[in-house]
Structure 1
C-alpha cells in the first residue's frame, strides 16, 4: 500500500507541475528508483575526459531518468574518490583503474558505465625549463604536474617513468588541476613537465609550451602506451551501493549512454553551445581542436571492452608493488549489465 500511495502522490505532483504528463513507463521507473537524489564526485569536470558527464547533465538526461544529481568537482580523481570513500558522495566519475587499486586495499568498488575508451592523457616536458630534453631519464629530480597526486594522470606518469627505469620517488609530483591552474603552473616555470588531459595539453602543445613525449589521446596512442584497450572514465561506486540501488545505477547508466549517443553525431558547434563557457579556457578554436583530437577516445555505448580490465591491471601491477595481479578479481571491478540495457534502449 505504501508504494501505491507514493506512486499516486508522485503522479499527481508531476501532473500538476506540467500540462504534458510524462509517459506512464517513465513515471513507473521513477517510482522504483531507490535513491532519486544523489551526489556524484568528479575530479576535473571541465576536462574532455568527463565530457559525457557534462553533456548528460547539461542536456537534462539525469532529470529525464528521474534523478536529482548534485555534481561536486574536485581538483583530481584521487580527491573525488576520497569523497566517495568518506561518504560525502555516492558515486564517483573517475578512472576505471581506481577500482583495481581499491581492491588491492580490500575495498570493493565497481564500475557500471564507461565514459571513455582511452585515458586521453598526454605527458609533455616544458620547452622553457627543459630545452635540452633527450629522454625520460632526464626527468629524474624534476617537478611533474598532475591533476592531483594519486589520480589517473599520476598513474600514466608512473607507468612512463617505470619503463625508463625511474621510480615515482625519483621525481616530485605536484597537483595542478585540469584547467587554467595547470596552464599557469607550466608556463610560469613552477613545474618542469606535465601529465594532463585536454583541452589543457592541446593548448600547451599548440602554443609551443611543451614537447609531447607520451600520448593516450587516441586509440592508437593508447595501444602503444598500454599494449591494449584501456578503459578510462566511468561511473563507479562501492559494490554494496550498486547491489542495493540497481534501479538508481540503471538510471545513471541510461543518462550517460544517452549522452554518449548524442556525442556520436554532435558537431563542434553543438559542443560549444552545450558546455559552460568557462570550460573553453578563453580560446574556442583551441578547445575545438582539442575535441577533434580526443573524440575517438570517448566511449560509444558505455560498455567496458573485454580486454580492457586486463590491460589496466597489467599496467598498474608493472609499477605498483602493492597491486598483486594474481590477487585481483577483475570480475568484481566492473559490470556491463546496466550499460547493455542502456545501449539497447538508446540504440547506441
Structure 2
C-alpha cells in the first residue's frame, strides 16, 4: 500500500510540475518563429554580428528560423522592410530617424556597431588630382547604394570640407566583389565603403584613405561623438505585436556581440563562409582587426549616439527638421538590457 501511494504521489508531482512549467515555456516562445531579415550587404564586416548569430546557431537557439535576404545596401534593405517583404531589418540606426521624419515609426532594438566602419578613399589613378576631400567636386564616388550609410558618412565628411552632396555623382557599387570591379574599370574616382573590400584595396595599394570610421576615435573625429551604426530594427507595430520574437532576436545578437569581443582568428575563419573570405583568410582577418573596435560589446545604444546620428542625418538631408524628431521613439535599450542578463 505505501508503495502504491508513493507511485501515485510521484505521478501527481510530475503532473503538477508539467502544469507549472509548460505555461512558462510557452511564455518564452517567439510569437513569430519563422521570419525574414533584410540585410544591407551581408558579406561586409559591418553586419558580422548577424552572420555570427546565423552561422553559430544563435537564432535557432532562441527558437527562430531566420531567412537572411541580402541587399546591395542599407537603403535597399530598408525598402524591403517598409514594403513588407521582410519582417526585420539589419541596417544603420539612422534609418529609424529618417523614417520618423516621413511619419513612419521604426525602432532599433539592439546595437551591433558603435562606429560606422566606413572608409572614404580616392583611387590610385586619381590620387594626384584628388588630394583631399575639398577636391571631390565633380568626382564620381562609389557608395554601396545611394541613401545608405556609406552615402551618409561621405556627405558629412564632404560638408566639413566645404563640398556639397550635389557637387559629386554618387554611384551604387554594392559592398562585395562589385566594388573591386568598379575600381579596376575606372568607373569611379573615389569611394565610400566597408571592409573587407576597403582593406583589400588598401593592401593592394589601389586606394588612398582620407576618412576612416573603423574605430571609435576615427568616428568621433568625423561626427564629434559616438555614431551608432548597424542595428536590428523593426516597425513599432511589429515590436508591440511580437515582443518575445524581438527579445529572441536581441538575445542572439547580444550573444554574437559578446562572441566577437573574444573570438580568436581561428574561430573567425572557421565561422565565416568560404565565399566571404575572398580566397584570402589572412586578408579577412586583417580587415576584422581593422574594425574590431567598432563592434558593440553589449548591444546597448550609447547615451550620446542618437543625438550624434540626428546631427549627421540633418546634415545629409537638409529637409529633415531635427526639432520634429523624438529620438526616444527611434530606439530602445530594453531588449538589450534583458539580453545581457541571459548572455554570459
TM-score (norm 1): 0.90
- 235, 238, 244: which is aligned to 1:238? 235
Contact 1:104 1:322 in 2 (8 A): no
- 316, 321, 324: which is aligned to 1:319? 316
Contact 1:268 1:288 in 2 (8 A): yes
- Aligned mates of 2:302, 2:279 — CA distance in 1: 36
Report the equivalent of 1:204.
201
Report the equivalent of 2:159.
162
- Aligned mates of 1:289, 1:258 — CA distance in 2: 23
- Matching of residue 253 in structure 1 with residue 263 in structure 2: no
Q: Secondary structure at the match of 2:210?
A: strand
Report the equivalent of 1:36.
33
- 54, 59, 78: which is aligned to 2:56? 59
Report the equivalent of 1:194.
191
310-319 vs 112-121, which moves further = 310-319
Report the equivalent of 2:290.
293
Q: Secondary structure at the match of 1:231?
A: coil
> Mind listing any 5+ residue stretches in structure 2 that lack a counterpart?
1-20
Q: Secondary structure at the match of 2:227?
A: coil
Report the equivalent of 2:181.
184
- Aligned mates of 1:255, 1:67 — CA distance in 2: 10
Q: Secondary structure at the match of 1:269?
A: helix
Report the equivalent of 2:3.
none
Q: Secondary structure at the match of 1:128?
A: helix
276-285 vs 109-118, which moves further = 276-285
Q: What are the Cα deviations for residues 27-76 of structure 1, in whole angstroms up to 9, with x where unaligned? A: 81576321111100001001110000000000011011001111100000
Larger radius of gyration: 2
Matched positions, count: 324
Report the equivalent of 1:213.
210
Q: What are the Cα deviations for residues 269-296 of structure 1, in whole angstroms up to 9, with x where unaligned? A: 1111001111111221111111111011
Give 1:130 shift. 3.5
Q: Secondary structure at the match of 1:212?
A: strand
Give 1:118 shift. 0.5
1:102-113 pair list within 5 angstroms: 102-113=99-110
> Mind listing any 5+ residue stretches in structure 1 that lack a counterpart?
1-23
The alignment's C-alpha RMSD in Å is 1.5
- The runs of at least 4 consecutive aligned structure 1 residues that moved more than 4 Å come to 24-27
- Matching of residue 262 in structure 1 with residue 243 in structure 2: no
